[in-house]
Amino acid sequence: MQVVTDIKYVFIAITSLLLSSNFIYGQSIKGIVIDGDHTPLGFVNILLKNPQDSTIIDFAITNNAGKFEFDTIPLNGILLSTSAIGYASFDTMLYQVSKQSEINLSIQLANKDYDLQQVEVNAYKNGVIINGDTTIYDPSTFTTGQEENVEELLKKLPGIVVEDGGKISVGGKEVENVLIEGDDFLDENRKAVLEGLSAESVSSVEIIGNYEAYSDLADFNTESEQKYAINIKLTKDAKSKIHGNVQLSGGHEDRYEAIADLYKIKEKSKFFINANTGNTGQNTLSIYDYIQLEGGLQNFTEQRSKGDRKIPRIFLDKERYNQINSNYLGFNFSKNIGSKLEMDGFAFAYLNNSKSSSVKRETPSHLGITNIYDKSKNDQLKTLAAKFNLDFKPSKKENWNYSSKVLLENTAETLQNRTQFFGNRFESQNHTTSEPFQIQNQINYRNRINKSNHLSFQVYSKWRKFDRNRLIASDTILPFFSSDNSFSSKSIDQKTANQKHNLDISAVYRKRIKFLNLQSKLYWNREDLDLEISDLPNLDFIASFEPSNWQRDYIGYKQGVNYKKGNLSTGVGINWFNFKVQQESTAEVSNRNYFVPSAFLKIQFNPFQQSFRLAYNNKVQAADLELANNAVEIVELNKLYQFNVEGSQILTGKHIELFYNLFDAVSGTMLFLFSNFSKSEAIGNQYFYFPTYELRKTTEIPPQELWINGLVIDKKFYRTSIGARLKSFVGYQKDYTYVEDLLNVYQNNSFKLELGAYSIWKESPMNAEMIIEYNQTQFNTGESKLSSKERIYRNSVVYGNIFFFLLYIGCSRINKK
């Protein structure tokens, strides 16, 4: 009654599947699954599937005897499928012929090197596309759907490590840029974005190797390491949404705050609006907002490194105000025009009116006279700033960039002081208004001609104008001492107009020949200054600020070559520059040439793969043979250990610093901290005075120090530190004056040893410290025709202390009810 009985091999079953379908007559199916040796197979999955969509209708698992059973099956045709580890799967169609009886199946499965891992690997392969330097992940392949934000999503991707602080690394190397849709849009707020953007917003994640953000080329002796960037691409839904936060809060005594941070990211355009208004005693615009508007920390620091050091004054003012009324509106944007042109920029307006700590104290004295101290400050600040940036990429190799920036500030500051002391009165008022205005323009061009030849040049211009009016008025009346003592008021009304123009042109050519990296840089910088001070008061000290107009030219050429292969990198370079200053008022010209050779050597090895790296870096620089500087640096900057050695040499002087640090960055707790600082310096000077034949020679060794800042173990429930600090002062100074044959010697030997142990168990601290101190000082002065060493020690002073020993064991509880 059955069509399929005792199928010998799988291929027979498959053949039968192909040639004819299996007709079943009953409502229930029983069966047995055996292997090639006719041994019953347990734990084989038998699935009944809907042939239309392969969804599972029912399933059974064979018992240890290899048997399975379905009580009821649907009347229509059904797909029977088996699966078991180590055996080929088997599929067949079953059709109902009659509603009678039951059927028995016997299925024999063929052995197969069933490579389960391949299933997993296929999944990975499907989820990862490697395209040159770029690796693209399909997040859905690696995630479970439980990830809440982008940070959690990134943690699931193979090869990417996200630490708690938002630091991301790929293959042990830190990712410097996190881009959204190709734009380093929210650099400084990386952590906030990683946590703020939902995981569902992400369509793909790209790791870009050899990422080079737009910047001028690094100096030849700067190590050029591969940089990674992560580019997060968003889904269509996410692009259509506006992300961000809106916050409103009210309050007591005019205390209010309204904040809106909104951003929208589309493929071809992005914008970010940040509006903030309030009267909360805090500035509504912070330096972080400004950096964000500048396009992120990297852009900001690049601009700063190019000489644009002007930061709007509002961020530098740390004065605490009693009352602030400030309003701020800013936005930035970026838009792609076609595939070759991209523009971005920002603008913001900031209005601030603040009254500072107006201090007024009235204290009645015992003579019945009231003393008054009153100080107040009013500030008004209006700022407008805008920046525009245009990127043009005519080809993959070429990149043109133009940026322009305008900043206008209008400040008014009034400072008032009034003091009344025993009837004497002092009053002063200082009123300053200033209107700085600056415009910057910059053109960059970069051409990656081919893999081994790069060319770039930059033109940078900045014009600054700074007008300032200053009024100082004061009154002093001293009736208490004498009724005639009444000083008439003095006033200074000063007006300063200042113009400064900078022009900076540089060109860099870089050529790579196998492991050699050649770099040539030609640069020219001109600075013009026009300074005017009008309405000078009759005060002498102002004369020192004599108006002067001058022009400074700075032309230089750098040529360097570095070599990097494996763990070794080394380089030498020459920097020549000419420095010329022309003073307009005196027609004085000073012209000087500098010639600075330099070299570095770096060896690094990685004994524990990605977890540890040891590097040796040696730099030598010399200019006009007047200065020699030698630095040795051993740095390990990975998760677990840090070790630095720095040394420099100035002629005969030596300077060595050691620093060693060990901590467990994985758990975030400090396990061990050890720092060692040693400094040694000797300076030799020789003076020759002719014709008196005076010869003076001085040798000096300043104090040496060695610090060992002990062991810190920080666990959840206790914290222990054991430390030692050794300060050793070995000062030595010799002063010969040969004319009079005098020898002055000063020597001081002392050391101080501090040993400490500290432990805290929950709220109960235990503390023990011991300090041992020893001092020895030798001093010999002015001995004529010194002949023996005894004289040196004759006047020496030696004293030693074994100083105090402190032990404290205590117990306290915090928040005891």
Which residues of this chain interact with other proteins, rule CB under 8 A?
A: 42-43, 45-47, 55-56, 59, 61, 63-64, 83-86, 113-121, 123-128, 130, 133, 135, 140-146, 158-159, 170-171, 173, 207, 209, 226, 228, 716-717, 762-763, 813-817
Smallest separation, CB 126 to other proteins (Å): 7
Instruction: Please state, as a whole number, how many other Cβ atoms lie within 10 Å of the Cβ of residue 31.
Output: 21
**How distant is the alpha carbon of residue 519 from its chain centre?**
27
Q: How many helices (H) and strands (E) does the chain have?
A: 9, 43
Smallest separation, CB 249 to other proteins (Å): 23
SS3 call for 624 = coil
Specify the residue, 173 or 425, whose C-beta has the smaller distance to other proteins.
173
- What tokens appear for 507 in the block? 């060109």
Smallest separation, CB 392 to other proteins (Å): 29
Which of 520, 506, 386 has its CA nearest to residue 440?
386
What is the torsional sign of CA 646, 648, 652, 653? negative
Specify the residue, 209 or 556, whose C-beta has the smaller distance to other proteins.
209
Smallest separation, CB 412 to other proteins (Å): 47
Smallest separation, CB 141 to other proteins (Å): 4
Residues 6+ positions from 90 with CB-CB distance below 8 Å: 10, 13, 14, 81, 82, 107, 109
In whole angstroms, what is the distance from residue 195 CA to residue 523 CA? 44
Specify the residue, 98 or 764, whose C-beta has the smaller distance to other proteins.
764
Smallest separation, CB 175 to other proteins (Å): 10
SS3 call for 523 = strand
Specify the residue, 47 or 712, whose C-beta has the smaller distance to other proteins.
47
In whole angstroms, what is the distance from residue 314 CA to residue 385 CA? 12
Smallest separation, CB 56 to other proteins (Å): 5
SS3 call for 544 = helix
Which of 472, 534, 463 has its CA nearest to residue 497?
534
In whole angstroms, what is the distance from residue 256 CA to residue 284 CA? 11
Smallest separation, CB 530 to other proteins (Å): 53
Specify the residue, 116 or 543, whose C-beta has the smaller distance to other proteins.
116
Smallest separation, CB 617 to other proteins (Å): 21
Specify the residue, 685 or 764, whose C-beta has the smaller distance to other proteins.
764
Q: Say if residues 593 and 580 touch (Cβ distance below 8 Å).
A: no
Three-state helix/strand/coil letters over 698-718: EEEECCCCEEEEEEEEECCCE
Q: Say if residues 742 and 714 touch (Cβ distance below 8 Å).
A: no
Q: What share of the chain is helix, strand, coil (3-state, %, to 5)?
A: 10, 60, 30
Specify the residue, 113 or 546, whose C-beta has the smaller distance to other proteins.
113
Specify the residue, 167 or 552, whose C-beta has the smaller distance to other proteins.
167
Smallest separation, CB 118 to other proteins (Å): 6
In whole angstroms, what is the distance from residue 570 CA to residue 617 CA? 9
Which of 796, 748, 756, 749 has its CA nearest to residue 772?
756
Which of 63, 103, 78 has its CA nearest to residue 21?
78
Specify the residue, 226 or 585, whose C-beta has the smaller distance to other proteins.
226
Specify the residue, 90 or 290, whose C-beta has the smaller distance to other proteins.
90
